[in-house]
Structure 1
């Protein structure tokens, strides 16, 4: 608890610096790139197009569980938060090497570095969130207030990534292969949650599979995003799943932050 209070205090006191560094981190991704910020959209949009083709009406003809909704409309609110989570966790893992010059400064609160990277990824995610809204409007969907509820689930995804990121970034200082391992686990992890496929393919006649899916905390975020964008169901309609998610996320966050702070005195020596 003490570590969390100290982190919140540092965030409050250094909020201007956090914002400036996060914005600078966001901008430097595209420095020297001919197409600049277009690259921010190209790869995820190509990924969505590939999945939509493979599982859509021209491929395996997957039928979404929501009536009168195309596969692409069902896919987008599942994969957009995954892009945010996976990018945030992967980049947070390597943050201490990327900003090693700040780690070596005794006066700099380095537990803010994962927060800075998360905020930088949040800028990218905000663009995708707006693109998702535009896509729904262009598809003929009537706007509804519940769409804004997806921002709550984005915050939830960020907190999960930050909690795990404190742990993985600390490990990565001493074990340089950690970032590659995280990348592989994320490639595997996207299939452990019903993002591209309907979970009924596996749970029909096997109720234990439904429980297994819901043990993945990211299930709550995917289900919540689709509730917000497709059915308009409010977030309090899944109380048990929400309680489980925030309990697991809080455990990851506290343990990850404490682990990070415990190893912090050794970071500058190794880097």
Structure 2
């Protein structure tokens, strides 16, 4: 817990620097790009369209488990946090190499670099959440008070992504293949989370243990939470077991990640 307390103190003390560097990192992504910020929407939108064609009314005609909801209305709240999570983890894994000139400075606290990347990705996620709200309003869904719960689940996603990033970014400095491993794991992770499909598919085939296994994936809690917030109006305390499990896994992962990061930190500048 000392590692976590030290990190929190560092974030509070360097909050202005973190904010400015996060904004600079966000702007840097689109320097020299003709369409600029538009590109960050194109791939996710195309991905949503592809899954809608495959699993929606044109393809397998998968019926969402939520009554009075279209497939797109069910898909978007599940896939939006995944885009954020995967981008934060991918970008965060290579953050120490990207900012190696800062890592080599003795006075710079490298612990804030994963946080800077996370906030930069959070800017993009905020745009997608706004688009998600617009999609729901245009499709005839009335706003619900539970929509505000998206803030909580975005925070949960951020903490889980940050916990993993401390571990992967530290290892990436010494093991360059870590970025590729993370990318492959994310591809598997997307299909191990019921984002495009419902776990009801397994129950219909008599595989009663499958939904329980899927819930062992911490991201299940986040995808289900976004859908609860946008579609059913359920609150996070209505899933007490999953809530405790998610935060327990996130806390343990954070402590392990920070410990590895702290142990390897003295050697970063030598390798980079």
Give the TM-score taking structure 1 as reference length: 0.99
CA contact (8 A) 2:81 2:157 kept: yes
> Which residue pairs with 1:266 in the alignment?
267
State the shift of 1:203 in Å: 3.2
In the alignment, does 2:91 pair up with 1:120? Answer: no
CA distance in 1, matches of 2:48, 2:151: 20
User: Post-superposition shift, 1:68?
Assistant: 1.4
Equivalent position SS for 2:87: helix
Range moving further from structure 2, 205-214 or 64-73? 205-214
Q: How many residues align?
A: 271
Aligned position for 1:142? 142
Give the unaligned 5+ runs of structure 1.
none
| CA-CA distance at 1:265 after TM superposition | 0.2
- Alpha-carbon distance, 1:148 to partner: 1.2
- 1:182 corresponds to 2:167: no
Encode CA deviations 1:207-255: one digit per residue, 9 max, x unaligned.
2112101100000001110000001111110000000000000000010
**1:133-157 Cα shifts (integer Å, max 9, x gaps):** 0110011100111111012111111
Hey, what's the Cα distance between the residues in 2 that align with 1:203 and 1:165? Answer: 34
SS of equivalent to 1:215: coil
| Structure 1 residues 58-207: aligned runs within 5 Å | 58-204=58-204, 205-207=206-208
Distance 1:6 1:253 in 2: 13
- Note the 1:169-248 alignment, pairs <5 A: 169-204=169-204, 205-248=206-249
What are the within-5 Å matches in structure 2 for residues 34-45 of structure 1?
34-45=34-45
Deviations 1:106-160 (A, max 9, x none): 1111011001100000000000000100110011100111111012111111111
Measured in 2, the distance between the counterparts of 1:112 and 1:203 equals 44
- After superposition, the C-alpha distances for 1:14-36 in whole angstroms (9 at most, x for unaligned) are 10000000000001111111001
Q: Unaligned 5+ residue runs, structure 2? A: none
Question: How high is the TM-score relative to the length of structure 2?
Answer: 0.98
SS in 1 for 2:215: helix
CA distance, structure 2, for counterparts of residue 55 and residue 211 of structure 1: 23
The CA RMSD over aligned residues, in Å, is 0.7
1:67 offset after TM fit, Å? 1.1
Residues 25-70 of structure 1, C-alpha deviations (whole Å, 9 max, x = no match): 0011111110011001111011001101110001110010011111
Q: Any runs of at least 4 consecutive aligned residues in structure 1 with deviations exceeding 6 A, and if so which?
A: none
